[in-house]
Amino acid sequence: MFVDIAKIKIKAGNGGNGAVSFRREKYVAAGGPDGGDGGKGGSVIFKVNDNLATLADFRYKRKYTAQNGQDGSGGRKSGKKGEDLIIYVPRGTIIRDVESGAIMADMSGDEPFVAAKGGKGGWGNPHFATPTRQVPRFAKDGTPGEEWEVSLELKLLADVGLLGFPNVGKSTLISVVSEAKPVIANYHFTTITPVLGVVSMGEGNSFVMADIPGLIEGAGDGVGLGHEFLRHVERCRLLVHIIDASGSEGRDPVDDFNIINKELEKFNPELAEREQIVVANKTDLASDEQLASLREYFESRGYEFHTMCAPISEGTDEVIRAVWNKLQTLPPLKRYEAEVIPVEMYEKAADKGFTITVRDNVYFVEAPWLLKILQRCDLDDYESLQYFQRVLISSGIIDALHERGIQEGDTVSIYDLEFDFVN
């Protein structure tokens, strides 16, 4: 089954906890603290696998979790890092954050994407030793790994998209000019999944053509299979619109053309502006007057017009050369840029709950919602720092610290951020 959209939850591994330990050896006086740091949690990483053609693997497994980092131990032994979790997706998959709808990554290239970063390992007690605190009996817990609910959407990578009503000859054309083997029969909706074919132009030159099935009136509203597959047209650099020149099924080819273009515009207005070449198929059933009328109609509206009889390969070479020549003038395949997820979104969605633990004048603040804000604030940037300070005040954390008796110069620890408190 062709599956091109899925929704999953991903969770990076938590960082391991730091250890509380002291060196105790015979003849060694005041060995001191020697607790090791926790290991970093594993990250969730997406990679492209060209052997995958659909998102069907995600229909039954919806939760993906990377390995946690191990806790530290005595003798300053750090915990082992958690293994990263690799998730393979087809080339052309768009990854979005479900909550904000923002694009996180476009998996069109070969570079991996770290979707959820593993939590940092907590510090062992040697990090908290000072001249006045020589026997720290506490360590820091590791930070939680990032957690996201993401949607995966496959948008096929094809230079050329074949458009047209069912049974106009799209599958026949792609079977003639490439090695693709779509189902071909004299009835509607024989093609129920997009079909990709590589068209060779010799001397190492080629382009990818996609047969986009299921486009009928109402496709933009979900009628037939159109709404399901219109997304695969979005990346195409060029659209080849095939019409039945003879009107053999009682339809007007001009009406067919206009209907599908309206559906494209309804689905995505940008598609209506995409370059199109019009190809009249089934010329063996059309009269010279019909072909001349169609040519005049489309060329007068600025479209490049060609004719063919795909089953016997008549005119198909000319069509492919015209497509290739047009591609040389067009920009490369569309890639979607990653979008910034507004930090303020986490504050609005937060329950604002938090806990404060005090150990030897170190005030540990824990709040899962605050961690997401902290991970996305650049504290070296003045505006980001000011924003983070406002969040601490508005959430009641500063007031709670005062209630717990914090004094100026005491240490505040918020996950992997530490600072001296200033009134």
Domain containing residue 418: CATH number: 3.30.300.350
Residues 47-58 pLDDT 10s: 999 988 889 889
The type of residue at 79 is G
Q: Is residue 32 part of a domain?
A: yes
Q: How confident is the model at residue 418 (pLDDT cuts 50, 70, 90)?
A: confident
Q: Is residue 337 part of a domain?
A: no
Q: What is the pLDDT of residue 1?
A: 45
> What is the mean predicted confidence (pLDDT) over 115-143?
89
The DSSP code sequence of 287-356 is: -HHHHHHHHHHHHTTT-EEEE-BGGGTBSHHHHHHHHHHHHTTSPPPP-PPP-PPPHHHHHHH-----EE
Q: Is residue 338 part of a domain?
A: no
What does the alpha-carbon distance between residue 217 and residue 232 come to, in Å, rounded to a whole number? 18
The type of residue at 371 is L
Q: Are residues 3 and 140 in the same domain?
A: yes
Q: Are residues 68 and 129 in the same domain?
A: yes
Q: Are residues 85 and 229 in the same domain?
A: no
Q: Are residues 227 and 359 in the same domain?
A: no
Across all residues in the chain, what is the average pLDDT?
87
Q: How confident is the model at residue 223 (pLDDT cuts 50, 70, 90)?
A: very low
Inform me whether the pLDDT recorded for 392 exceeds 70. Answer: yes
Number of domains in the chain: 3
Q: Are residues 174 and 122 in the same domain?
A: no
Percent of the chain at pLDDT exceeding 70: 90
**Residue 344 φ/ψ, nearest 5 degrees:** -60, -25
Inform me whether the pLDDT recorded for 230 exceeds 90. Answer: no
CB neighbours (10 Å) of residue 219? 24
Which helix (DSSP H) or strand (DSSP E) does residue 5 occupy? strand 5-11
What does the alpha-carbon distance between residue 154 and residue 385 come to, in Å, rounded to a whole number? 38
Q: Are residues 184 and 227 in the same domain?
A: yes
Q: Is residue 333 part of a domain?
A: no
> What is the mean predicted confidence (pLDDT) over 216-231?
52
Q: What is the pLDDT of residue 415?
A: 86
User: What global pTM score does this model have?
Assistant: 0.79
Inform me whether the pLDDT recorded for 225 exceeds 90. Answer: no
